[in-house]
Structure 1
Amino acid sequence: MSSSKADRRVVVTGMGVVTPLGLTVPDFWANIKAGKCGVSELGGFPVDDLKILIAAQIKDLDHKSRLRHFKRDKLITMADRYSWFAAMAADEAIKMSGIETPMVDPYRTACIIGSGAGGLVTTENSYRDLFILNKKATHPLTLLRIIGSSAAAHVGIEFGVKGPTFATCSACSTATHAIGLARDYIKNGVVDVAIAGASESVINYGTMRAWQALHVLSPEGCFPFSKKRNGTVLGEGAGILVLESYEHAKKRGATILAELSGYGQTSDSGDMVKPSVEGPREAMKLALADAGLQTTDIDYLNAHGTATMDNDRNETAAIKEVFGDYAYKLAVSSTKSMHGHPLGAGGGIEAVVSIQALRDGFLPPTIGLTDPDPECDLDYVPNVGREKKLRHVMSNSFAFGGLNAVVVFSPPPTE
């Protein structure tokens, strides 16, 4: 394969998700279109002294059944929950792409699957074993389960990836950074194929106490851009894409879902918790410039939209500074209102939302939005989604520490 640089186009040929709204892309998208809410009462661990009693949890997960056909990776069913999510989503994405595995050209394939927190379920269980149950040792696989690169390694092993394989970690921008970096690897001729995204499983007692102490969780629900919003709702899951150079995908006759046409990343360099307007604004501008598009070319923006007071106002202000008067004609929504905030996995899951919106000609709703914040005065597609032919879509991810990443998806190339 030629490694000519600068003009290599990057396309999406596969997608996979694991979410509270569905464990496959078709189920997930059907529930997104229907405006279903995946937030429910906490379960699976003691909650007696918690003040926050809701989350967007994935319940009734039969990971052994979903992963029983894995042949090369002998330890996946004994891995941490976040690795299960990544493996399931990657499996769906690979199957959708039609790529033969083990990879025919393994050194020209990358696997970049991040996690903001790694194996927190294992960390919690190990703490319980040692300090509550007074066991003398942890499980022999504890270390392998905890490390943040385990998901990438498990997926790489199963699908025979021998090119760059590692994790990104940038809190809530983790998946979008992974996808953007994978795109750059393909665009610059380092690899021809990449499995990219992120996975997160953070809903346990210790994590709920930590987030509760930060006072950014809502006890009632996730209501982005609403006057009544009072915090986000933790979610979990994974979102994975298969990316290829256009030439590689075309040569093997792949079905191309979308083009990953633009990517922008910035850092606020300001505050660990309070976001700026400048950083997100510049990331969106960079993504647009990278895609070679004008602001008026974007028909839908999947907002970071966490339902915290600061994020929603700042993001709205940043959108206005980028899009000007056109901001009021642009459809913007936060699907976190439905699937919660899955932290590092959010950008991967929302990339799937954005691609499906583009392909299906449908604007996903922001549910629970009956009384908008006066400072959040854009079209957030309140409560009910709408049909609309879309030309190009943008997806925002902004993280603690001011770490910003934005991607733009466009229709498949026509030469």
Structure 2
Amino acid sequence: MNRVVITGLGCITPIGSSVSSFQESLFSGTTGISPITSVPDAPDGNPGVRYTQAAQVLDFDPALHLDSGVIAATNRNTHFAIVAARQAAQQARLTEHHNPGDIAIIMGCACGGRSSEESEVKNLYTRNARAHPLTIVRTMSSAGASNISIDLKITGPTLDISTACASATHAIGLAFHMVRSGMSTAAIAGGHEAPLSWGFYRAWDSMRVVSPTRCRPFAADRDGMSLGEGAAMLVLETLESAQARNATIFGEIVGFGMSADANHITQPQAEGAASAMRKALADAKASPEEVGYINAHGTGTQANDATEASAIHQVFGARAAQIPISSTKALHGHSIGASGALEALATTLALHEGRLPQTAGVTEPEASLNVDLIVDEPRPTGPTLALSNSLAFGGLNAVIAMRSWK
């Protein structure tokens, strides 16, 4: 089987709309969680929710990247997808070195074009107005994958995965297996999401899991998650092809594991998350003793963080309290289907730069969780094996194992 490496990176996120700006914020601990700005369709632009902050992309203008026809036919989440994929493909010089029919595009997107759908439904129910003829193509969750294909003229396997908060991690894992097996010679894999609409804010408010201030994963005073948006993309290809053309290698994906809790639609189970981590390690042919970093799902809710900490202890036993972990959701928020992609990007940069990002905003980790939470500042590290966890509603778990490339 082929070894699979990462040769291109791209992103549009609340902490930077380029990889360099994302990296700067990641290691400086600069959060993108800020007061909610005006919300379209909401009365006076106010969503009327108990919380005041979200992780919004505030510096993105689609007109600087896309022509007017594409902008009109697509939703904000597709705009993110196209531009982030372009960044990654251009950095890797992807289509110069691979046949377009041999490249896969595997995306994670759970919410689709939520804001476009809400706008049309509002007009339907209040004025019995005719829906815009582009409503379907703006709102389908696979629109990002399709438009990346059209934009880059890639004709290989192209699809979207929708598994709630694990969508992007499932997408990256599937793309990894496709390149490793030889089904595709290369892939663009990641996730994109722009769900911050009036209805979305209100629906999450009803669940009572959003922080009234900001997300503080694994903190003693944590009080919920922070909603977000964004996109991140990785270009994957075989080690052989990357070395043959002297491409920059940012890291190696070595394993992927997934599982289902089969228990409850919103209450996570430690056994399910532990199973996915074990499967990722087995796929990588690695032992638990090799793991030197975990990028945790870490939403900042009481249930998720306690369950994930318990799963880490199940997998790593006595070593669990010595493995450095962090949750970058404290910086870029929880972008639902795109979260795993932003966290895979953060993990890739951590391994490439030899610095593990801190969990921003946490002053006192919860002692009962007994994990080595990185706080205050990044922690230096040598070459290591890392896990990136995604634990979704519905009990759907996905974990990527990655190694430093030196």
Shared fold by TM > 0.5? yes
How do residues 1-400 of structure 1 correspond to structure 2 at under 5 angstroms? 7-45=1-39, 46-47=45-46, 49-68=48-67, 75-76=70-71, 78-100=73-95, 104-132=98-126, 134=127, 136-400=129-393
Larger mean Cα displacement after TM superposition, 59-68 or 25-34: 59-68
d(CA) in 1 for partners of 2:347, 2:198: 32
d(CA) in 2 for partners of 1:400, 1:234: 15
d(CA) in 2 for partners of 1:400, 1:226: 22
**Offset at residue 118 of structure 1 (A):** 0.5
d(CA) in 1 for partners of 2:365, 2:238: 42
1:60/1:77 CA distance change after superposition, 3 Å: farther
Per-residue CA deviations over 1:246-265 (Å, capped at 9, x if unaligned) read 22222333222111111101
Contact 2:6 2:235 in 1 (8 A): yes
**Offset at residue 294 of structure 1 (A):** 1.6
Contact 2:355 2:381 in 1 (8 A): yes
Q: In structure 2, the residue corresponding to 1:375 is in which secondary structure?
A: helix
Larger mean Cα displacement after TM superposition, 291-300 or 44-53: 44-53
d(CA) in 1 for partners of 2:191, 2:331: 19
Determine what percentage of the aligned residue pairs are the same residue: 38
Q: State the partner residue of 2:42.
A: none
Contact 1:77 1:84 in 2 (8 A): no
1:105/1:35 CA distance change after superposition, 3 Å: same
Q: Return the letter of the residue paired with 1:378.
A: V
Structure 2, unaligned stretches of length 5 or more? 40-44
Larger mean Cα displacement after TM superposition, 283-292 or 244-253: 244-253
Per-residue CA deviations over 1:27-66 (Å, capped at 9, x if unaligned) read 0110110011111111131216322221101114211102
Q: Return the letter of the residue paired with 1:98.
A: R
Q: Return the letter of the residue paired with 1:277.
A: A
Q: Return the letter of the residue paired with 1:41.
A: P
Larger mean Cα displacement after TM superposition, 386-395 or 232-241: 386-395
1:309/1:136 CA distance change after superposition, 3 Å: same
d(CA) in 2 for partners of 1:390, 1:408: 14
Q: Return the letter of the residue paired with 2:88.
A: A
Q: State the partner residue of 1:407.
A: 400
**Offset at residue 163 of structure 1 (A):** 1.3
Per-residue CA deviations over 1:301-348 (Å, capped at 9, x if unaligned) read 100000111110110011111111211221100010111111110110
Aligned pair count?
Answer: 401
Larger mean Cα displacement after TM superposition, 87-96 or 404-413: 404-413
RMSD across aligned positions (CA): 1.6
**Offset at residue 131 of structure 1 (A):** 3.0
Q: In structure 2, the residue corresponding to 1:167 is in which secondary structure?
A: strand
d(CA) in 2 for partners of 1:136, 1:317: 51
d(CA) in 1 for partners of 2:95, 2:364: 50
Q: Return the letter of the residue paired with 1:193.
A: A
**Offset at residue 15 of structure 1 (A):** 1.0
Q: Return the letter of the residue paired with 1:35.
A: G
Q: TM-score, normalised by structure 2?
A: 0.95
Per-residue CA deviations over 1:99-119 (Å, capped at 9, x if unaligned) read 235x85122111111201101
Q: In structure 2, the residue corresponding to 1:83 is in which secondary structure?
A: helix
d(CA) in 2 for partners of 1:240, 1:135: 40
Q: Return the letter of the residue paired with 2:193.
A: E
Give runs of ≥4 in structure 1 deviating > 3 Å: none
Q: In structure 2, the residue corresponding to 1:100 is in which secondary structure?
A: helix
Contact 1:76 1:154 in 2 (8 A): no
Contact 1:76 1:83 in 2 (8 A): no
Structure 1, unaligned stretches of length 5 or more? 1-6
**Offset at residue 391 of structure 1 (A):** 1.4
Larger mean Cα displacement after TM superposition, 121-130 or 202-211: 121-130
Q: In structure 1, the residue corresponding to 2:7 is in which secondary structure?
A: strand
Q: Return the letter of the residue paired with 1:354.
A: T
d(CA) in 2 for partners of 1:83, 1:37: 24
1:100/1:53 CA distance change after superposition, 3 Å: same
**Offset at residue 11 of structure 1 (A):** 1.0
Contact 1:300 1:390 in 2 (8 A): no
**Offset at residue 67 of structure 1 (A):** 2.9
Per-residue CA deviations over 1:3-23 (Å, capped at 9, x if unaligned) read xxxx21111111111111000
**Offset at residue 174 of structure 1 (A):** 0.3
